[in-house]
Amino acid sequence: MIKTESIFLKALNKEILPIPPIWYMRQAGRYMPEYRAVRKNFKNFLDMCKEPEVCCELALQPIDAFELDSAILFSDILTIPDAMGLDVNFLEGEGPVFGNPIKTPQDVIDIEDFDTESLSYVYKAVSNIKNALPSHIPLIGFCGSPWTLAAYSIEGRSSKDFLFTRNFIKENNVEAHIFLEKLTFACFAYLKRQVEAGADVIQIFDSWANLLSEEEYKIYSLSYITNLVSLLKNDPATENIPVILFSREPKAKLPTIMTSNSDCLSLYWSMNDIDLEQTADKVAIQGNLNPEILLESNDVIKKETLKILQKYKNYPGYVFNLGHGITPNINPEKIKYLTDLIRST
Ligand code: CP3
């Protein structure tokens, strides 16, 4: 039988399903030998992201290998700061390093306006992937949250505590807010173009929500995500597109995060003690197996997965995912085992 309907879209629409849809954050990546074979042809990771045909091939690899219920655009959240002239490079073993980070408040004032069309390579990748997918497999477009993009852009690289950024936003509060606002409009324009190119769902990655206290989180992260979601929900091109919000270990509780008006919350793996009565029928849930469990035996994987499936059984709108991305040290066999396990229980 040819499937025509997407169980992923049904779950995002808060339907109760017998078997949850499955996709994995970082489902395309270095843990797959097929990915590494393509990756070795490029020195700089972002150069690979600038090739729409390559992005299409990479986005389809995990769909072909595991028959997942959604594809995700192959790209990176740092395309926006790169397009704003901050010169993002990925150095071997170091992650992203900015050639031209935001160092002073004047840098915020001087930053180039975001030219939406300068990321046309991303929209081309979206349309290529969408055309290559069967109709029942949706495509997720994505961006980083304004706060997460600001944190990388000010720090200039990845960091454990982002101390420079945290001092910068206190000492240059007006400019910090100007920057966050510029990033919010850039994210909106970027996501709208992804949707026009064929993205069916949007995920916002707030990967550095954990750096902020609850009060700071509301001021520097949540308020801008809320504005972004509202821009999307008020534009005819994007109003019907479900929005998933991934927040890494935020200090705020779910009812606070729900004020963003996202359709689905993607839970970090430590967020286990949530009260589903507060969220049921209001927001779909995605998550949240600890990716490190995939380094354990099949028995351990099974035990931990069944706990999660039990918790969300009969939940109106549940999507199986990990609590953060697949890491390069995970064996693809474990992804196969996990996927088959969920579908057989
Ligand atoms: O299947 C997918 O999810 C692929 C698409 C994707 C990538 N990055 C590809 C990638 C997505 C959705 C992202 C999002 C992203 N990028 C986030 C949010 C998710 C999260 O993990 O919290 C963040 C914080 C980034 C920024 C980023 N990109 C970092 C910090 C790094 C280096 C760290 C690392 O894992 O190497 C990247 C590089 C990156 N982005 C890789 C991939 C496949 C690995 C690059 C390589 O092959 O060398």
Nearest CA among 270, 268, 264, 271 for reference residue 315: 264
Amino acid identity of residue 119, one-letter, is L
Atom of ligand 1 nearest to the CA of 73: 5
Instruction: Report how far residue 223's alpha carbon sits from residue 187's, in angstroms, rounded to the nearest whole number.
Output: 14
Candidate CATH numbers 3.90.400.10, 3.30.750.200, 3.20.20.70, 3.20.20.210; the one for domain 7-344 = 3.20.20.210
Across 96-124, b (16+ Cβ under 10 Å) vs e yields bebebbbeebebbeebeebebeebeebbb
Instruction: Report how far residue 293's alpha carbon sits from residue 303's, in angstroms, rounded to the nearest whole number.
Output: 10
Nearest CA among 122, 265, 266 for reference residue 199: 122
- The rounded mean pLDDT for the chain is 97
Can you give the residue ranges of every domain in the chain?
7-344
The residue whose CA is least distant from atom 28 of ligand 1 is: 76
Mean pLDDT of 236-263: 97
Atom of ligand 1 nearest to the CA of 158: 30
The residue whose CA is least distant from atom 10 of ligand 1 is: 76
Under 8 Å CB-to-CB from 268, ≥6 apart: which residues? 210, 246, 247, 248, 249, 250, 287, 288, 323, 324
User: Using an 8 Å Cβ cutoff, are 191 and 75 in contact?
Assistant: no
Model confidence pLDDT, tens digit, residues 126-161: 999 999 999 999 999 999 999 999 999 999 999 999
Say yes or no to pLDDT of 329 above 90.
yes
Q: What is the pLDDT of residue 2?
A: 53
User: Using an 8 Å Cβ cutoff, are 219 and 253 in contact?
Assistant: no
- Can you give the pTM of this predicted structure? 0.97
Percent of the chain scoring above 70 in pLDDT: 99
Say yes or no to pLDDT of 6 above 60.
yes
Q: Residues lining ligand 1, CB < 6 A?
A: 25-30, 39, 45, 72, 74, 76-78, 90, 95-96, 142, 158, 205, 207, 325
Q: What is the pLDDT of residue 4?
A: 64
Instruction: Report how far residue 213's alpha carbon sits from residue 4's, in angstroms, rounded to the nearest whole number.
Output: 44
Instruction: Report how far residue 4's alpha carbon sits from residue 145's, in angstroms, rounded to the nearest whole number.
Output: 32
Strand pairing class (88-91; 95-98): antiparallel
Say yes or no to pLDDT of 333 above 80.
yes
Q: What is the pLDDT of residue 109?
A: 97
Say yes or no to pLDDT of 3 above 80.
no
User: Using an 8 Å Cβ cutoff, are 152 and 96 in contact?
Assistant: yes
Select from 22, 24, 26 the residue to mutate for testing ligand 1; criterion: most ligand atoms less than 8 Å from CB: 26
Say yes or no to pLDDT of 256 above 60.
yes
Locate all alpha helices (DSSP H) within 32-119, ordered by sequence.
33-39, 45-49, 52-66, 79-81, 105-110
Model confidence pLDDT, tens digit, residues 74-130: 999 999 999 999 999 998 888 999 999 999 999 999 999 999 999 999 999 999 999
